[in-house]
Chains A and B, each alone.
Chain A
Amino acid sequence: MRLQASIFAGILAAATVAASALPAAAQDSIYVPLFTYRTGPFSGSGIFIAEGMHDYLEMLNQRDGGIGGVKLAIEECETGYDTKKGLECYEQVKNKKPVMVNPWSTGITLPLIPRASVDKIPVLSMAYGLSASAIGDTFPWIFNPPATYWDGLSMILTYIGNKEGGLDKLKGKTLGYIYLDAGFGKEPIPLFEQFAKDYGFTLKLYPVAATEMQNQTSQWLNVRRDRPNYMVLYGWGALNPTAIKEAAKINYPMDKFISIWWPSEDDARSAGAAAKGFKELNWHAVGANFPVMQDIKKYVVDKSLTQTDKAHLGEVLYNRGVYNSMLIAEAIRNAQKITGKKVVTGEDVRRGLETLDVDKARLKEIGMDGFTDPVKLTCADHNGHFPAFMQEWDGTKWVKISEPIKPMEDKVGPLLTAAAKEYVEKNSGWPKRTEACDKSS
């Protein structure tokens, strides 16, 4: 028994070490890896994103035979929102010549930023990641449309200012900020503190550790003590539903509780009727009443080519995933147009991203008329700083309650430039941009 066990263990160890075989992607397809998390404490949000991203690209494969006639090889890599697993995924996909990576975690994005230019793989961290990567001249390989976290905060502040009758009315008031105690939550704090100084309000911070996301009673007890006039939420995964539930428990006025663009329907639903009035930013529609969503239903969901639950179509985070994939697809198409090649590489898609120009006409072509607004990137601006609107939870669904709110360019712009400069200084040897700038086609 012992000998057999030791032989077994030996074979296992040897086989483990021999795990360096890896299948190369077929030459006539474009490899698109998707870093997703359907497990772990953030899977509550991650599952929808994964579904949306996968389904749109699969729909293109089924309906159009891919992009420009070339099929997409879609492969999911499970990261669990864990930086270590994310880096493993990156190393694994690196050799298969991916055209871009979408880390879907600020924690995974950060270590990939210096590697992107060396490995020639663009990073699309849509509306997350390092805000400073909007500065295209410093970060030629990183893209984060349509708005940064700093833009988002300025939009929330503008909305609050509108409700109060002017930002100067905030003087003397208190604003509370509850956030995930990690990179993504901490990033807006300097801007928030700047705003507090400029407009004369007090800022109270309520960090929530990633391991304590479901245990927020202390933070909300502090909220009860401090009684902020408005609460701003930057959460992800299990943080959001718990925050909404706890806010309801302490009878915090839900209409004064505003979040960045991440909470989903499930998150709001978990607090029941008390969650009515909860607001968040968004830049695309909810619901499945668009030609693109109907196509996804017809070509992918109905044909059971996906793990997606039918009920998830049209939910806000599912549509978010679809939007992300739309950016991927348009970038690839753009790259094909610029280079004339069919099977494009990471370098080509970088150029495609940099000259991305999805206008109203194109949106109509791809079935997203009314779904979202046009998005355009340039060599210097990898973000676009596009406006987002406010939507409110009415007890059963998200309802758009405002026009698109523009970010405060005058406040955010200088901060972004300063942050980019600081990044370069801290990382001695950061390469100067050598990539040429294509004129937008």
Chain B
Amino acid sequence: MFYREAGQFKTSYLADQSVFPILQDRIGLALILAVAFVLIPFGASDFFLSVVMVPFLIFALAAIGLNILTGYTGLLSLGTGGFMGVGAFACYKLTTLFPGVNIVVWILVAGLFSSGVGLLFGLPSLRIKGFYLAVATLAAQFFLDWCFVRVPWLVNYNVSGAIEVPTRTLLGIPVTGPNATPQFRYLVILSIVALLTWFASNLVHGRIGRSWMAVRDMDLAAELIGIKLYRTKLLAFAVSSYYCGVAGALMVFLWYGSAEPAVFGIDQSFLILFMVIIGGLGSLIGSFFGAALIYGLPIFMRSAVTALGWDIVPSTVEHLTFMTVGGLIIFFLIIEPNGLARLWQIGKQKMRVWPYPY
């Protein structure tokens, strides 16, 4: 009863093909954007912005990247952490070599380097599929891990082997470094994420996205109807790595403020993969849901334990968090293998037919 599109007629083909044809959807989207851009930066605490929202957005972006590769194209990848690292290190080198150029420009350009590396490690996908491709991406992950540690040029020969992020400004306001306020960082990240999500949305709703989904569903049949497999798969790798690269650069520059190579290890790859699985493979909104749940759950549990006043040692909370995440993954895979995004869709469907059951 709440979600009917009755009475909404389209008078042109273009209007009919829009991504959000229902007015309620468009209102909902506008509300979300309004809350995100206006309400949260001015209403929320610094803690909420720096610890919850900033990482959530960055992980959501990386999850979108991985979703494009694994969810839409069906190519399982365990190299996400490495690609994020390429983006971060590329951004660092670019900004130290050309400090005059705006950091946001460099963040977006760094993704291209990540794209190139992703393309390179995606070449085996032309011959291998499924689990085997996962091993190829694992090779990429560990090799990149090793490069980050072994190539001191990447960190400008810094003795500590880590990136130290210099202070950079945007429109005169510091956006990286310790003086950058959480509000400003949040707004910059939100803008970038919103822009790239819009871009991804257009990609997956268009011809390219459909060719990816065709390759995922049955690549032999896709090839038969004329989709060039190598181009499609490589494009998937390139776009996905771009998103991961930008997410990596954002993570180091606008969140951590420094980075040891260990940050981009295999654990990071698994984390993003879990977000994509729980959020829903092949769904952009699922990436956001998955990131919120997987990243937010430990924070929620820690705060809940403190708020309830239970005297549990932090390490035990840590263990319980692991157990809960693992249990949740199994739980979601049993009740809804398509993840939170599907549950969201079902929810909307229920709202359409309420109070009837179907």
Contacts and interface: CB of A to CB of B under 8 A. Distances in A.
Direct contact of A and B (CB under 8 A): yes
A368 to B, nearest CB: 28
A207 B302 CA distance: 36
Interface string A171-205: 00000000001110011011000000000000000
A15 B156 contact: no
Interface residues of A, number: 61
B162 A17 contact: no
Nearest to B158: A426
A344 B174 CA distance: 31
A209 B261 CA distance: 11
Contact of A107 (B162, B164, B335): B162
Contacts of A426: 156, 158, 164, 166
Interface in A1-52: 1-3, 5-6, 9-10, 12-13, 15-17, 19-23, 36, 38-39
Given A16-B296, A20-B45, A210 B262 contact: yes
B116 interface: no
Contacts of B317: 78
A181 B263 contact: no
Interface stretch (A85-93, A273-281, A284-292): A85-93
Contacts of B46: 95
A211 interface: yes
A428 B166 contact: yes
Classify the secondary structure of B's interface with A. Answer: helix
B347 A10 contact: yes
B149 A19 contact: no
A419 B159 contact: yes
B51 A88 contact: yes
Contact of B292 (A16, A77, A114, A187): A16
Nearest to B321: A78
Interface stretch (A59-67, A115-123, A402-410): A115-123
Contact of B159 (A12, A115, A181, A187): A187
Contacts of B194: none
A17 B291 CA distance: 11
Contacts of A209: 145-146, 149
A84 interface: yes
A356 B257 CA distance: 30
Contacts of B179: 118
A429 B336 CA distance: 51
Interface stretch (B7-15, B226-234, B306-314): B306-314
Interface in A68-82: 76-78, 80, 82
Contacts of B260: 83, 107, 110, 182-183
A429 B177 contact: yes
A130 interface: yes
Contact of A13 (B44, B262, B289): B289
Contact of B262 (A3, A76, A107, A115): A107
A123 to B, nearest CB: 12
Given A13-B292, A427-B164, A2 B346 contact: yes
B318 interface: yes
A17 B296 contact: yes
A230 to B, nearest CB: 23
Given A84-B256, A182-B260, A429-B166, A20 B99 contact: no
A207 B262 CA distance: 14
Given A3-B350, A21-B303, A183-B260, A117 B178 contact: yes
Contacts of B257: 111, 114-115
Nearest to B335: A5
A119 B143 CA distance: 37
B280 to A, nearest CB: 11
B303 A22 contact: yes
A144 to B, nearest CB: 13
Given A6-B347, A118-B178, A1 B335 contact: yes
Nearest to A7: B347
Contacts, number: 161
Interface in A314-330: none
Classify the secondary structure of A's interface with B. Answer: helix
B304 interface: yes
Contacts of B45: 20, 95
B166 A427 contact: yes
A307 interface: yes
Contacts of A211: 145, 265-266
B27 to A, nearest CB: 19
A221 to B, nearest CB: 19
A17 B336 contact: no
B300 A2 contact: no
B318 to A, nearest CB: 5
Interface string A409-441: 000000000010001001111000000000000
Nearest to A114: B178
Residue among A106, A111, A114, A115 with most chain B CB within 10 A:
A111
A1 B346 CA distance: 12
Interface in B32-86: 44-48, 50-52
Nearest to A211: B265
Contacts of A94: 47
Contacts of A5: 335-336, 343
A17 B343 contact: no
Given A2-B336, A92-B51, A106 B178 contact: no
B262 A186 contact: no
Interface string B288-329: 010011001101101110110000011101110000000000
A118 B177 CA distance: 10
A117 B167 CA distance: 14
A396 B166 CA distance: 49
21 contacts: A2-B335, A13-B292, A13-B296, A20-B52, A39-B318, A39-B319, A76-B314, A78-B318, A83-B259, A88-B51, A91-B51, A118-B178, A118-B179, A130-B160, A183-B162, A187-B160, A189-B159, A419-B159, A423-B164, A426-B158, A429-B177
Given A114-B178, A210-B262, 13 more contacts: A2-B336, A2-B343, A13-B293, A13-B340, A17-B52, A23-B307, A36-B315, A76-B315, A78-B314, A84-B263, A87-B256, A94-B47, A426-B158
